[in-house]
Structure 1
Amino acid sequence: MIKIEELKAICGDDDSMVEMLLNLYMEEYGQCDSVIQQRYTSDDLDGLFKISHELKGMFSNLCAQDAMTLAQIVESSSQAGTLPEESAIKDLCQEIRAINQQINTILA
């Protein structure tokens, strides 16, 4: 989950900046759990590496440490040429859905 108070502090308590970042995430990555599942199912290691690498950076920017760690697990495995464990994919996708729900609540 996003540590929203940390994110606000980084943004200088500027709510419009926080909203902009959250909207950007939703536009770019709001459906990424489906993308990850598709790439996992099709053994697309390069695609998994790319999306998990992007997510790791985005989650770092959004103060979502747990999600960043989960993305890093998928990134490391796929970068090494190994299909990640199914549990790693499920955990990452579950965290993404929780973050999406959190963002939708904040932006409502």
Structure 2
Amino acid sequence: MIDFDVLRSYMDNDEDIIAAVFMAFMEEHENGADKIQSLYNEQNWSELFITAHSLKGILASFGETKAVDKLEAIETATRGGDTPQLADIQFVIQELEVIKNQINEYLASMV
């Protein structure tokens, strides 16, 4: 879940910058949950590592902590070519849907 207090502090309370960051996130990661599931199913650990690493950094800047912890565990496992925990994958997928909904609500409120 996005921590808007943390996010606003990173973005100097500039709602236009937050909206731009959210739009960029949606362009890049709107289908992130599906991508993670597919990469897990395909056992494509190198691509899953890259995806987890990318999402971890972005979500940390959104003030999200729980999914970031799970992404770090996924990143650690896949870096070594190991299978990540299914529970971590499922948690991240659920959390990405929550975050996507938060972003859509925020952007809708801007119009």
Alignment correspondent of 1:98? 98
**Aligned-pair distance for 1:57?**
0.8
Stretches of 4+ aligned residues off by more than 6 angstroms: none
Q: 1:21-36 to 2 correspondence within 5 Å?
A: 21-36=21-36
Pairwise CA distance, 1:98: 0.7
Residue 83 of structure 1 is matched in structure 2 by 83
Q: Give % identity.
A: 27
Q: Aligned AA for 1:93?
A: I
Partner of 2:12: helix, strand, or coil?
A: coil
TM-score by length of 2: 0.92
Give the conservation status (yes or no) of the 8 Å contact 2:53–2:72: yes
Q: Do the aligned residues in 1 keep the contact of 2:55 with 2:71 (CA within 8 Å)? A: yes
- What is the alpha-carbon distance in structure 2 between the residues aligned to residue 83 and residue 16 of structure 1? 40
Q: CA RMSD in A?
A: 0.9
Structure 2, unaligned runs of 5 or more: none
Where structure 1 has 5 or more consecutive residues not aligned to the other structure, the ranges are: none
Q: Is the counterpart of residue 3 in structure 1 residue 3 in structure 2?
A: yes
Distance 1:83 1:28 in 2: 25
1 CA distance for matches of 2:60 and 2:23?
16
For 1:27, give the aligned amino acid.
E
For 1:5 and 1:56, locate their aligned partners in 2 and report how far apart those are by CA, in whole Å: 18
2:27 and 2:92 map into 1 onto residues whose CA distance is 18
